[in-house]
Amino acid sequence: MLCEGALFVAMAQVLGFLKLWEFPWGGSVTLSMLPVFIFSVRWGCRNAFLASFAFGLLQFLFDGGFALTWQSMIGDYILAFGVLGLAGLFQGKRWGIFAGAVVGSTARFVVHYVVGATIWAAYMPDEFFGMTMTSPWTYSFLYNGSYMLIDLVLCLVAAGLMYRPLYRFLIGLDLVGAEGRASVTKRGKS
């Protein structure tokens, strides 16, 4: 598990460097969450939180992490990436990679949304996406939602392309012995 976690976190970090689009105050469109989601649905929440926490630290250290205060560092990196591990709630489920991606992405968005509306509110521009900004909550919703939604769609499309050829791997059938396959298959059908 530790070796696989290290490899998946490394893949996530490398994918994080391959930005399709990046906002000036942080947030970018990448496929970096996908390896964390795959690891999460293979190994469950406990292990997933460890991997996603490590990924958050690496994002801050090596991807030009920008924080105003220690609160924004914890919120935008440790918590926001840490909650990606919630995808582990769907461990062994046949559709787990898709549900895990939705739950993990939504949880990350919620953390970024709250941090953006509270800590980053002072940096709200007068206009964003051609709209006049009067509320930091609206601005944070639009700012963080714009890249998080695209990230989620990219992860779902990539998982959909991998699903059929890697089904056994995605639900963790390769991790259990012959006697355990029946129980994982039964769990996967729910």
Does the predicted TM-score (pTM) go above 0.85? yes
Q: Is the dihedral of CA 25, 30, 32, 34 positive or negative?
A: positive
Residue-wise pLDDT tens digits, 157-189: 999 999 999 988 888 888 876 444 444 555 555
SS3 state at 22: strand
Percent of the chain with pLDDT over 90: 62
Do residues 141 and 115 make contact, with C-beta atoms less than 8 angstroms apart? no
- Above 60 in pLDDT, residue 110? yes
What 3-state class would DSSP assign to 127? strand
Q: How far is CA 107 from the centre of its chain?
A: 8
Mean pLDDT of the chain: 88
